[in-house]
Amino acid sequence: MVSGGCVGPEGEVGPEVAAAVAERDEAVAPAPARELVVGYALTSKKAKSFLQPKLRGLARKKGILFVAIDHKRPLSDQGPFDIVLHKLTGKGWQQLLEEYRETHPEVTVLDPPGAIAHLLDRQSMLQEVSELDLTDRYGKVRVPKQLFVNTDPLSIPAAVTRAGLSLPLVAKPLVAKSHELSLAYDPTSLTKLEPPLVLQEFVNHGGVMFKVYIVGDAIRVVRRFSLPNVDEGDLSNNAGVFRFPRVSCAAASADDADLDPCVAELPPRPLLEILARELRRRLGLRLFNIDMIREHGTRDRFYVIDMNYFPGMWSDIRTSLEHIVPILVYY
Ligand SMILES: Nc1ncnc2c1ncn2[C@@H]1O[C@H](COP(=O)(O)OP(=O)(O)O)[C@@H](O)[C@H]1O
Ligand SMILES: [Mg+2]
């Protein structure tokens, strides 16, 4: 049995953050000199999963106060805030936030709306991973071959051939908020798809994926069950489009399952550290997650297939809950 899904000891934070916290602890101990006010603009569902009593308690001890933002009113009329934490889309909110950033440059906005937008569109989402093209002695991290299509569905098979993509392909809606994914095994089924889409080569990975959560300079990784391998038989016997709605949300934890160790072994920590550091820097984001798979039959070839900003499932990533507080103190 393979157990444990945590990279590094529980509760460990990166050296930079730890030093910053220690410094601040020293500076404010025993009681915080002034509260750090964190305004949050989150959906009620998100706020509930994120702002659990434990986090509020931890934050209070560090002198951090969470205050709900009314996303319909100018931010200057609310607050004052030291930090704005947000994950709302919508033009009205974006505009309010941009105005506020311009007039209040001293306030830290976690994270900048432009940087978040990069992850909301599947065409740009994996661009940085692709450009990074990470190869070191611990492994390689790539993006599956993919193609953006926004043409007449009948022309998709030819476009796929021109781009050199091999079937089967995962069809993903351009807007990352939609999880209506499907798998196409043959050229005819490609003509039944509904663009705009990103078509991505399906990579066999033994039915297990890794969700890597990045919170500032802390990393946590958990295993999830994923789609099974596709073999030659599946390719010749399956015609049509197979939909797998919300597979990622339904995916069960595979942390305690009895799995083939070659499939279940977590990606090497040094590799994840380089990947996380580079992506943090290139994307300008501090709260995001990466979905990673290991190419079946290899030990060190990984693919990033999806990324999300300020991911859900905070209850699932205990360590990160504690890590958010140091980030808030640090920035
Ligand atoms: N290129 C791929 N190769 C193999 N499996 C994939 C690929 N892309 C997605 N999947 C599977 O589909 C699931 C959902 O895909 P993902 O891109 O993470 O979309 P979302 O999480 O937005 O629904 C993944 O968790 C994985 O199980
Ligand atoms: Mg996903």
The rounded Å distance from CA 171 to ligand 2 centre is: 13
Tens-digit pLDDT profile for residues 127-168: 999 999 999 999 999 999 999 999 999 999 999 999 999 999
Q: Give mean pLDDT, residues 6-27.
A: 38
Calpha distance 161→187 (Å, rounded):
9
In the chain, where does the domain assigned CATH 3.40.50.11370 lie? Answer: 15-111+323-330
Q: What is the CATH number of domain 15-111+323-330?
A: 3.40.50.11370
Least confident piece of the model among 51-55, 174-178, 268-272: 51-55
Q: Are 211 and 221 in contact (CB under 8 A)?
A: yes
The rounded Å distance from CA 4 to ligand 1 centre is: 23
Calpha distance 121→211 (Å, rounded):
19
Whose C-alpha lies nearest to ligand 1, atom 22?
179
Calpha distance 91→94 (Å, rounded):
5
In the chain, where does the domain assigned CATH 3.30.470.20 lie? Answer: 120-309
Q: Which residues are annotated as a binding site for Mg(2+)?
A: 291, 306, 308
pLDDT mean across residues, the chain:
83
For the entire predicted model, the pTM comes to 0.85
Looking at 3.30.470.20, 3.30.465.10, 3.30.360.10, 2.40.50.140, the CATH number of the domain 120-309 comes to: 3.30.470.20
Calpha distance 311→288 (Å, rounded):
6
**Rg of the chain over all Cα atoms, to the nearest angstrom:** 21
pLDDT of residue 226: 92
Whose C-alpha lies nearest to ligand 1, atom 1?
202
Q: How many CB atoms lie within 10 A of CB 265?
A: 15
Ligand 1 site: residues with CB under 6 angstroms?
144, 170, 172, 176, 179, 181, 200, 202-203, 205, 209, 226-227, 247-248, 291, 293, 305-306
Q: Which residues are annotated as a binding site for ATP?
A: 122, 172, 200-211, 226
CA dihedral 249, 252, 255, 258 (to 10 degrees): -150
The rounded Å distance from CA 61 to ligand 2 centre is: 34
